[in-house]
């Protein structure tokens, strides 16, 4: 026996929502987007031109596409014609891939996505799925939409630029020496700027034109030949100076694009070359990418940002600023790995934001090891005399305070050190083991008191049972989100170019991860084959019920209306849909009623003939 199957039956349009499972991801997408206030969509409103697709609908279909690991505009368009959930979300509309791509790269989307994240977090808090106690921060690198051979290196540009300055100066001096051009007014004796190079070209132009006129006026062949050979040098110099101008302008533009970076990609100017973890060739090749920073709790992505610098240390401060400014108030505890542990970051969190950093530092694990604790030459293990402000070295000599020293890094952050120097290292039998200082010099020790006190503070917090346990959650909170993003969702490379567009795409991807996670955590509805009308067992009942109600509806519309009213009184959770459809000879009014009663779905359908067409 086969299940009921016929191709010749007339099918009336059905509400696609009925086809979806109760815990389908489309409902989560719909609920999330519907929770965004209407004001957030007002900026998309245009008074002129053809009415646009509703931004709510566009946002829903792109988000739903991303949850299905579909990131391409064309494939999302194809899904709109294939997937029931996409058809339902779009309510039958099929925007083209161009519209989809234009919408997702619209600068206004950033705010919309931010609103999505804020609303989603509110929902999580409401349902007590996250505790607002700590935030877990980590970063990952994601490949840009650019070829790995499109690099431009700062060092190369600087080197070529220096060579150009040298060459242009030399040639200019030569032209002056040979009195081909008069001296020009220079801003700087070391370098010829673009305007000055242009002035030189003008002068050379005049010189070449003068030679041209002389050649035309001269009739003797030998004389013309002589002038032509004299014209050769200014003509060649003019060509070279024109090349200098083009190259100098290009180098200036390159330096503007670099900003603080050391490289950029010619395809995606905002992408920086960095070392990726997935180095399949094992040759340490750098790839164009972005450093993605993420804040999570309960394995949900709550805030994100994109940075060009490959190391995490300098991204923490601006990222926390972004969270506070755009997403939510920072919780009490900020948890991150040792990559973020720096004096500047500790200072910012403790003093600037009045929060607690649960962030280790580079030497944290090493310091706990026996080897470190037993290393007699490490200053941590030396005896300190507070009264004298001195240490005692393994050779029993005094290491006195010498002077204060400041170090400013290339980003402008200054650290203060106390410098201690051993009274006399000469003739010490332990010298080779203790110091690499040149002969005649004593060992010097640099102590950063602020850094030491910050480290002590962090050690204390991490050894505390409660905060230590929260720090222990770091690996199982933020790391899996990157795993879901890359391995489950398959999002390993951006499909758009430029930082702003990349940010938008990342927002869609992280929200897709969130929604999938959210749906996976929802309780699965019980399976009841006997009574669930959506199941196969009811396939035979549907046409029978449909036919009966059809006949009732045809013969007595008021009876059907009464039936619906009764249902409405009996059960609150009732959905009634109304469709109009045109068959060949009839205009029909088609009612669909979906009743949720004690988690069992009952479907009722009814048709009224509104008029017969002649
Ligand atoms: S090298 Fe100097 S600091 Fe080191 S153990 Fe010898 S005397 Fe002490």
449-486: per-residue pLDDT in tens? 999 999 999 999 999 999 999 999 998 999 999 999 99
The CA distance from 424 to 45, in Å, is 78
Residue nearest to ligand 1 atom 7, measured at CA: 425
Structure tokens at 476: 């199982």
Bridge partners (DSSP) listed for residue 584 = none
List of E strands, 375-532:
383-385, 390-392, 398-408, 414-422, 444-447
The CA distance from 532 to 30, in Å, is 24
pTM: 0.78
Helix and strand element counts for the chain (H, E):
21, 16
Confidence of residue 315 (pLDDT cuts 50, 70, 90): very high
Confidence of residue 79 (pLDDT cuts 50, 70, 90): very high
The CA distance from 474 to 135, in Å, is 9
Confidence of residue 102 (pLDDT cuts 50, 70, 90): very high
Bridge partners (DSSP) listed for residue 401 = 420
Domain spans in the chain, listed from the N-terminal domain onward: 16-125+498-521, 152-264, 372-452, 536-612
The verdict on the CB of residue 445 being under 6 Å from ligand 1 is: no
Residue nearest to ligand 1 atom 4, measured at CA: 434
Higher-confidence residue of 158 and 20: namely 158
The verdict on the CB of residue 434 being under 6 Å from ligand 1 is: yes
The verdict on the CB of residue 398 being under 6 Å from ligand 1 is: no
Q: At which residue do the structure tokens 């009841």 appear? A: 528
The verdict on the CB of residue 513 being under 6 Å from ligand 1 is: no
Predicted pLDDT of residue 549: 54
Q: Average pLDDT of the chain?
A: 84
The verdict on the CB of residue 395 being under 6 Å from ligand 1 is: yes
Higher-confidence residue of 539 and 445: namely 445
CB 482 within 8 A of CB 475: no
Predicted pLDDT of residue 604: 53
**Residues in CB range of 323: below 8 A, 6 or more apart:** 135, 295, 303, 330
Give 380 Cα–ligand 1 centroid separation in angstroms. Answer: 15
The verdict on the CB of residue 394 being under 6 Å from ligand 1 is: yes
Model pLDDT for residues 341-400, shown as the tens digit of each residue: 999 999 999 999 999 999 999 888 888 888 988 889 999 899 998 888 999 999 889 999
Please list the alpha-helical segments (H only) found in 68-193: 73-82, 84-90, 97-104, 109-126, 154-177
What is the end-to-end Cα distance of the chain in Å, rounded?
A: 43
Higher-confidence residue of 528 and 499: namely 499
Residue nearest to ligand 1 atom 2, measured at CA: 425
**Residues in CB range of 452: below 8 A, 6 or more apart:** none
Model pLDDT for residues 557-603, shown as the tens digit of each residue: 556 555 555 544 444 444 444 444 444 445 555 555 554 444 444 45
Of the candidates 609, 582, 551, the one whose C-alpha atom is nearest the C-alpha of residue 12 is 582
Predicted pLDDT of residue 19: 81
H or E stretch covering 225: helix 221-258
Give 429 Cα–ligand 1 centroid separation in angstroms. Answer: 8
H or E stretch covering 227: helix 221-258
Predicted pLDDT of residue 188: 82
Predicted pLDDT of residue 587: 53
The verdict on the CB of residue 331 being under 6 Å from ligand 1 is: no
Higher-confidence residue of 603 and 52: namely 52
The CA distance from 317 to 315, in Å, is 6
Predicted pLDDT of residue 6: 77
CB 63 within 8 A of CB 514: no
CB 522 within 8 A of CB 31: no
Confidence of residue 530 (pLDDT cuts 50, 70, 90): very low
pLDDT at residue 80 is higher than 90: yes
Predicted pLDDT of residue 574: 46
Give 386 Cα–ligand 1 centroid separation in angstroms. Answer: 20
């Amino acid at each position: 026996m086969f299940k009921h199957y016929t191709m010749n039956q007339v099918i009336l349009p059905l509400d696609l929502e009925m086809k979806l499972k109760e815990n389908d991801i489309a409902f989560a997408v719909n609920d999330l987007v519907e929770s965004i206030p209407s004001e957030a969509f007002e900026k998309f409103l245009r008074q002129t031109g053809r009415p646009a697709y509703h931004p709510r609908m566009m946002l829903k279909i792109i988000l739903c596409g991303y949850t299905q690991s579909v990131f391409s505009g064309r494939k999302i368009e194809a899904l709109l014609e294939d997937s029931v959930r996409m058809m339902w979300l779009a309510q039958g509309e099929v925007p083209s891939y161009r519209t989809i791509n234009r919408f997702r790269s619209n600068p206004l989307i950033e705010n919309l996505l931010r609103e999505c994240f804020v609303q989603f977090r509110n929902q999580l808090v409401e349902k007590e799925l996250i505790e607002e106690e700590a935030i877990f921060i980590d970063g990952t690198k994601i490949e840009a939409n650019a070829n790995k051979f499109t690099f431009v290196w700062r060092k190369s540009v600087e080197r070529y630029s220096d060579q150009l300055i040298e060459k242009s100066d030399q040639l200019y001096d030569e032209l002056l020496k040979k009195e081909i051009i008069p001296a020009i007014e220079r801003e700087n004796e070391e370098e010829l700027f673009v305007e000055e190079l242009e002035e030189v070209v003008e002068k050379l132009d005049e010189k070449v034109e003068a030679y041209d006129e002389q050649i035309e006026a001269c009739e003797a062949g030998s004389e013309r030949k002589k002038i032509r050979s004299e014209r050769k040098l200014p003509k060649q110099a003019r060509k070279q100076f024109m090349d200098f101008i083009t190259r100098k302008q290009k180098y200036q533009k390159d330096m503007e694009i670099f900003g603080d970076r050391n490289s950029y990609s010619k395809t995606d100017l905002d992408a920086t070359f960095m070392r990726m973890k997935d180095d399949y060739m094992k040759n340490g090749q750098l790839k164009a990418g972005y450093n993605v920073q993420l804040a999570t709790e309960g394995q949900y992505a709550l805030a994100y940002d994109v940075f060009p610098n490959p190391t995490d240390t300098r991204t923490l401060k601006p990222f926390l600023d972004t969270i506070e400014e755009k997403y939510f108030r920072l919780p009490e505890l900020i948890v991150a790995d040792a990559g973020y542990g720096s004096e500047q970051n500790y200072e910012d969190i403790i003093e600037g934001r009045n929060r607690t950093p649960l962030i280790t530092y580079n030497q944290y694990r090493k310091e706990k090891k026996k080897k470190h604790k037993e290393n007699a030459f490490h200053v941590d293990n030396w005896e300190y005399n507070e009264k004298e402000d001195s240490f005692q070295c393994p050779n029993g000599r005094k290491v006195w305070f010498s002077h204060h020293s400041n170090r400013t890094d290339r980003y402008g952050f200054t650290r203060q050190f106390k410098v201690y120097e051993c009274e006399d290292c000469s003739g010490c039998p332990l010298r080779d083991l203790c110091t690499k200082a040149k002969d005649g010099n004593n060992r010097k020790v640099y102590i950063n008191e602020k850094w030491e006190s910050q480290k002590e503070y962090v050690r204390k917090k991490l050894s505390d049972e409660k905060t230590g346990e929260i720090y222990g959650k770091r690996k199982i909170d933020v790391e899996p989100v990157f795993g879901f993003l890359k391995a489950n969702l398959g999002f390993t490379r951006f499909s758009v170019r430029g930082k702003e567009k990349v940010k938008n795409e990342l927002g869609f991807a992280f929200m897709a991860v969130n929604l999938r996670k959210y749906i996976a955590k929802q309780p699965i509805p019980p399976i009841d084959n006997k009574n669930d009308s959506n199941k196969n067992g009811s396939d035979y009942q549907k046409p029978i019920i449909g036919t009966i109600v059809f006949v009732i509806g045809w013969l007595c519309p008021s009876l059907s209306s009464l039936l619906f009213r009764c249902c409405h009184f009996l059960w609150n959770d009732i959905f009634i849909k109304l469709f109009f459809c045109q068959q060949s000879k009839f205009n029909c009014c088609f009612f669909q009623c979906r009743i949720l009663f004690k988690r069992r779905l009952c479907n009722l359908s009814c048709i009224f003939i509104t008029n017969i067409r002649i």
